[in-house]
Structure formats: structure tokens, C-alpha cells
Amino acid sequence: MSTALLVAGAFLASAVEMVEALTIVLGVGLVRGWRSPLIGVAAATVVLVALVVSLGPALSVIPITTLRLVVGALLLAFGLQWLRKAILRSSGYTPLHDEDEVFRREREHAAAAGDEQRAGLDWYAFTVSFKGVLLEGLEVVFIVISFGSAQGRLGLAAAGAAAALVLVVVAGVLARGPLARVPENTIKFMVGLLLTSFGCFWGAEGAGVDWPGDELALLGVLAFLGVLSFALVRALRRQRLNALPAGAGA
Amino acid sequence: MRYVGAFGRFWWNFVVGDDWRVAAGLAVALGLTYVCTHRSLDAWWLLPLAVALLLADSLRRATRHAA
């Protein structure tokens, strides 16, 4: 059961980050040609795979209790960031991430950038694609490594993330545009809940807790945090609407 | 030196994010859980409760001025 949640978490986190990376690469590639951006994507992918391949097995030498304590703490800090942002967006306090707007901005910047050539590459197109994929991918690598190492299922977590990558690339090629209809905040909400729940579960186990019901407790934590998060969204929405001048919230 | 600072800022933003109080609260909650369990107290509830309180408090502070 926890393995299924683990794969789902890696898949969803990878999907949502890759949608953002795809928008950047498409914005640059459609304006400046595809060779340099694709080399940038390939170079970043090599770096990310190297991180998973080198760090993943290296973590297996750390005692599992220590590993779960550290991974749990990091997942909690990381997951709560995702959850907090998703709740602020769902309740209307922060605008939703607009993939079409990001795409438009990337195209404008790509058109206005200079034409510097380095190592036979359009340097702007290469560096923007490389950085975009690397920065979005680092979060995925962190999740894959932490999920995989704490559960001893690095291969499965990596497979979940890779499946999402393939799906997003295929969808992007078919759509030839940003995947603006992907319910990004809903996915981020779910990933935030999963990361925080796994963080709670493993962090407490690493600190010496014996969960009642063993692995079933993970579902209990997930349900508790899910109900709490939805209650917070409702309360914040109400608070925001109450603060608006009469008639402005209609 | 500039790169070291940028590297540090990147990891701070990556792990700690917008609200350092949440990260600090989590560290305290994990420490308390560790102490309780090593004194034979059943403290499985402590971390979920701490997470709930920290999240609600962080959101309250984030929306206080906007409201």
C-alpha cells in the first residue's frame, strides 16, 4: 500500500515539475530553434540521472532508522512548503500558476535575447533549457531519492518519475504548446499531502515511534492532513471573502 | 564568495522555503518525539499534531496582512 503511494507521489511530483520545465523549453525552442534547447535538456537530464544513480545507492549504507529520521525531516519541511503554497492558491490568496502566461513571457525573453554563440551552441537557448530542466528536476530527484531510499524502493520511485516524464513529453509534442489544462494546483496539493504524510510517518519512526496499525497509520496520517487542509482552504476562502468590500466577492 | 552565498541561498530556499518558523518548529517537534519515545512514552500523535498547528499558524501569518 505504501509502495503504491510512493510511486504515485514520485509520478505526480515529476509530472507537475516536468510540465513547468516543458513550458520553458517550448518557449525557447519555438522561437530560437530546437538544437540548442534539446542539447540543454539532454545535459540537464544526464546531471539529474547521475545524481539519482550516485546518491541513491550511497544512502543505503546509512542505518535505516537514521535515514528515516533525516529523510522524514526533509520531506516534512519540503512537503509543508508545497502544501502551504497549494492551500494559499486554492483559497485565492495567491494567484494560480498560469502556464500560458509563463509561456508567453519565455517567448518574449527568447525573442529579445542576444545571439551569443558558444561551443557551437545558441548559448541563451542552451542555458535557459538546461537551467529550467535542472532546477525543476532537482525537486523530483530529491523526492525520488528520499522516497526510494527510506522505503528501499529507489528503482520503483525512479520508474514512477520517468513514466511521468515520458507522458509529459509525449503530451507536449502532441499539443505543441504548454500543458495549461493540467490541474497543476490540485496535483501540487496531492503531492504536498503525500510528502508531508510520508515525512510524518518516517520522521516519527526514525525518532523511535511504533505506529499503531504499522503501515496503515500512513493512511490515517494522510486522511488527517487531507481533512485539515481542506478545512483550512474553506476557512481561508471565507476569511478572504469576508474581508472584501460588500459586493466585490460576487 | 558570491557563488558560495548563492549556493547557500538556493539550498535554504529549497529546504526551508518562505517560512523558517515551520522548519524550526518541525525540528523541535521531532526532537520532542525522540525524547518522549526514548523515555518510553507513546508519542506517535505528537508529530501529526505539530504539523497541523505549524501549518495553520504559518497560513494565519501569511494571510493576516492580505486579509
B59/A87 touch (CB, cutoff 8 Å), yes or no: yes
Q: What is the DSSP string of A64-94?
A: HHHHHHHHHHHHHHHHHHHHHHHHHHHTTSS
Find the mean pLDDT for residues A151-176: 88
> What pTM did the predictor assign?
0.85
A88/B47 touch (CB, cutoff 8 Å), yes or no: no
pLDDT at B12: 85
Model confidence at B66, pLDDT cuts 50, 70, 90, reads low
Three-state DSSP class for A129? helix
Least confident residue range of A94-108, A182-196, B13-27: A94-108
- B36 pLDDT more than 90: yes
pLDDT at B11: 81
**Residue B22: alpha-carbon gap to chain centroid:** 3
The closest CB to that of B63, out of A93, A204, A228, belongs to A93
- A249 pLDDT more than 60: no
Find the mean pLDDT for residues A124-148: 90
Question: Is the pLDDT higher at B11 or at A166?
Answer: A166
The interface predicted TM-score of the complex, written ipTM, equals: 0.91
| Gap between the Cα atoms of A6 and A153, Å rounded | 9
- A247 pLDDT more than 70: no
Summarize pLDDT for A65-100 with one digit per residue, the tens. Answer: 898 999 999 999 989 999 999 999 999 999 887 888
Considering only CB atoms, which chain B residues are within 8 Å of A73? 26-27, 30
In the block, cell 494567484 appears at: A95
The closest CB to that of A221, out of B34, B48, B62, belongs to B48
Find the mean pLDDT for residues A108-137: 89
B63/A239 touch (CB, cutoff 8 Å), yes or no: yes
Question: Is the pLDDT higher at B29 or at A115?
Answer: B29
Amino acid A205 reads E
| Best B9, B20, B22, B26 residue to mutate vs chain A (most A CBs within 10 Å) | B26
Amino acid A10 reads A
Least confident residue range of A21-30, A184-193, A207-216, B58-67: B58-67
Please tell me the distance in Å from B4's CA to the nearest CA on chain A.
Answer: 17
pLDDT at A250: 46
* Total beta-carbon pairs less than 8 A apart between chain A and chain B: 103
| Gap between the Cα atoms of A25 and A125, Å rounded | 8
What lies within 8 Å, CB to CB, of A7 at 6+ separation is: A156, A157, A159, A160
B59/A236 touch (CB, cutoff 8 Å), yes or no: yes
Average pLDDT of chain A is 89
B54/A69 touch (CB, cutoff 8 Å), yes or no: no
The closest CB to that of A76, out of B18, B51, B67, belongs to B51
Question: Is the pLDDT higher at B4 or at B38?
Answer: B38
As a whole-number percent, the residues of chain B with pLDDT over 90 amount to: 61
B47/A225 touch (CB, cutoff 8 Å), yes or no: no
* Cell representation of residue B41: 512514552
Model confidence at A228, pLDDT cuts 50, 70, 90, reads very high
Question: Is the pLDDT higher at A125 or at B65?
Answer: A125
| Gap between the Cα atoms of A139 and B15, Å rounded | 10
